[in-house]
Amino acid sequence: MKSELEKCLAGEWYDCHDAIFLEYKNNARQLLKKYNSLEYDQKEEKSQILKLLFEHIGENVSVGLPFICDYGCNISLGSNVSVNMNCTFVDCNKITVGNNVLIASNVQIYTAAHPIELADRLTPDWNAGSGEYFCRTYALPVSIEDGCWIGGGAIILPGVTIGKGTVIGAGSVVTKDIPDNCVAAGNPCRIIRRINGENTAEKETI
């Protein structure tokens, strides 16, 4: 029989109030309280906390303040990654960020979701004293591959993979996978054009 954690990571309905998730949340809250109270130039202290918080963190990583996540232990960041201020990572399932990635301010990454149909969404025979959550939850991993740039205020939904070298425009809502080497934007996010990889002196606002 699968544990609630195994169900969660498999993308199945799971009890998000199981003891393991409450432990993850408590640990993350304690570390985030310390992290978000640090001064801008306390880089060594920040690095030490992020190593405790995240599953993996590469070299030359910056995570701006404030930062919010759910568990922390499901987040993996590669090397040369910049996460700007006021980002939210709801990491009930894995959030994997590759190398050489820019994530602008106010980006939100969600792995948790609920069934669409009300009959599926509500926990059968639920009662307040059961300890279970009143609605069903599942979580799907999110992957941002090497060389991506995620524009300010973008929202990335559960189960999405953003391919290598792709740029997501500011304010986009990414509801499905985006392939490599694209500029994509909008709500829902759509491919605007392909990136040919050639250097250009022209600057663009995304």
Residues 6 or more apart in contact with residue 101 via CB below 8 angstroms: 77, 78, 80, 81, 82, 144, 146, 147, 148, 149, 150
What type of residue sits at position 179?
A: P
Is 114 an active-site residue? yes
Taking each helix axis from N to C end, the angle separating 19-35 and 43-53, rounded to the nearest 10 degrees, works out to: 180
Catalytic residue chosen out of the listed positions 17, 94, 114, 164: 114
Q: Which residues have C-beta within 8 Å of that of residue 178, sequence separation ≥ 6? A: 160, 161, 162, 163, 166, 168, 184, 189, 191
Q: Catalytic positions, please?
A: 114
